[in-house]
Structures are given as C-alpha cells and as structure tokens.
Structure 1
Amino acid sequence: MPRICIYPKDVAALTGRSYDVAKRLMRRVRQAAGKPTGAFVTVQDFCRFTGLDAAEVAQALDRKST
C-alpha cells in the first residue's frame, strides 16, 4: 500500500538534512497547507511546498519501507 503521510524522519532521509531541519521544514509545510499543529502532512502537501515530484518521492518512500 502506498504511503500517504510523510514524517520528519522521511524528510531527513529524502533531503539529506538533519532531523531538526526536517522538523522545521515540516512545520512550514503544515502552515502553508493551512493545517493545525500536529496535523498529518501528506506527500502531496510536501511536494507542493518543495516543488519535488510526487511520484519520485512516493517511489523513494516505498523503497525505504521495504
């Protein structure tokens, strides 16, 4: 089953940034999407904010989880 939500640990692995930087980026993505604190961030939200290709990110997350 494909992943829908993305977490700071995933962002850190995808971008090569530290976990703390990934948490800050996730906070900015959540704010840009108009979601409340603690709400889930979808792969689509993340890709819309960063400009990354959603298919590539989803593929990388699927590869990482297997």
Structure 2
Amino acid sequence: MKIVRVTIFPKDVHCFTGRSERYGRKLLQDIKKHLGKQSYQFITVEEFAEYSGIKEETIKEYLLQVS
C-alpha cells in the first residue's frame, strides 16, 4: 500500500496548473495568508482543493502517480 502525501508543494502546483514553480510558491503563500497560517506551516491537500477548486480526488490521484 502506497502512502499518499498530505501536503502540497510548489512543484505540485506547477504540475497541476502548468504554470511556473514560482507561481506555485506565490499561490501557496496566498493560501496561507487566506487561512491565517504561519509561513512555516504546510498546506494540506484538502485546503488546496478547497481554495483552488480542483477536486481532492484528482489531486490525490496525481500524488499517487508521482510517488
């Protein structure tokens, strides 16, 4: 059984959206600000899915493929 990551990184955002990795860093910063998180805290799959509008299942399928 494979373990699926529960956090999202800029490289993941790059692959989901086709945008640059720099855009991924900026988007994750925006999500943290929106959620009131500190800079050292992580963004979960659920939080990213809610903010971005991408289905959580789609994100988890991608994470299984790249693991």
TM-score by length of 2: 0.89
Q: Which has the higher strand share?
A: 1
Unaligned ranges ≥5, structure 2: none
Count of equivalent residues = 65
Query: What letter is aligned with 1:63?
Result: Q
Cα distance in 1, alignment partners of residues 34 and 57 from structure 2: 21
Unaligned ranges ≥5, structure 1: none
Report the identity percentage. Answer: 31
- 1:19-54 per-residue CA deviation (whole Å, 9 max, x = no partner) reads 111100010111112111121110111111111100
- 4+ aligned runs moved over 4 Å, structure 1: none
Q: 1:22 aligns with which of 9, 19, 24?
A: 24
Query: RMSD of the alignment, in Å?
Result: 0.9
